[in-house]
Amino acid sequence: MFAFELRRYRQAAALTQAQLGDRMGFSDSMVNMIELAKRPPSRRFAELCDQIFGLDGTMVRLYTATTWNKAPEYLRPWLEEEEQATGLRTWQPTIVPGLLQTQAYTREILAATPGITDEELQKRLANRMQRQAILQRDRPPVLNVVMDEAVLHRMIGDIEVMREQLRHLLEIARHPRVTIQIVPSAVRAHCGLAGGFIIAERNGSPYAAYTDAQPFGRTFDDRLLIAELVLRYDALRAEALPFSQSLRLLEETVKQNDPEAPRCTVAQEQLQR
């Protein structure tokens, strides 16, 4: 609806995308992407639309109604970058990365936030699940995941929550554009202990990153900082088990949590490929 109304008001004002972008301080490609609903608008973008078109808060109200607005303010810049990435490299030392979490696992993680209300919990849960839709696109980003083995053994929720989550990891490992690797517990001190991060790539070139922090993570595009994270990611991947061995470890962990479950064969499938 935001995209439809933006195009309608722009055409009524007899403005091209480039002309509107010039007045707002945005590129014409940004205006085009938002009109095609391929990129979410920022609140500032909506405010400028209201000013230029002489509207009484119409575009801000539409922005407020968007699903992306349900995400915490600090996370929205990263969601915009994640939407445009053709590749994502992520490291996580403590929990399963958000793009690979089950709904029950995510609920347990979010519910641990001090002071969170039921309404806030539901909004953030819905947003997390929507983020995962990028893996269902016709051309999803290539997702390379490196996790510490501790992630597999940290009990989040009860045993049923963990069983479902571990099985989900095995299932999503079948995705042709997803790679999961595990840094085994035998590796003691390593450069990833300081916290998790995600690197966004476009056509093979890293251009943005998100790092975990307390109380909020942050998004940045500083080339020197991104280059440092790339070095750290490569170092962590060098310590990790190869893909097929990582899947075997994951299968064994599933078996330990559910002794009656039939043996998984994802690692064998990968080797056959």
Domain residue ranges in the chain: 2-65, 75-272
Confidence class for position 37, pLDDT limits 50, 70, 90: confident
Beta strand spans in the chain (E): 87-92, 142-148, 178-183, 197-202, 205-211, 218-220
CATH number assigned to the domain with residue range 75-272, chosen from the 4 options 1.20.1070, 3.30.870, 1.10.3470, 3.40.50: 3.30.870
CATH number assigned to the domain with residue range 2-65, chosen from the 4 options 1.10.260.40, 3.10.310.10, 2.30.30.40, 1.20.1440.230: 1.10.260.40
Task: Note the pTM of the prediction, 2 decimals.
Answer: 0.73
Place of tokens 């476009």: 202
- Mean pLDDT across 135-141: 83
- If one compares 184 and 129, the residue with the highest pLDDT of the two is 184
- Mean pLDDT across 87-108: 96
**pLDDT tens across 191-226, in order?**
999 999 999 999 999 999 999 988 889 999 999 999
- Average of per-residue pLDDT values in the chain: 89
Quick check: 218 and 211 in contact, CB under 8 A? yes
| Rounded Cα distance, 32 and 211, in Å | 29
Between 17-26, 29-38, 257-266, the lowest mean confidence (pLDDT) is in: 257-266
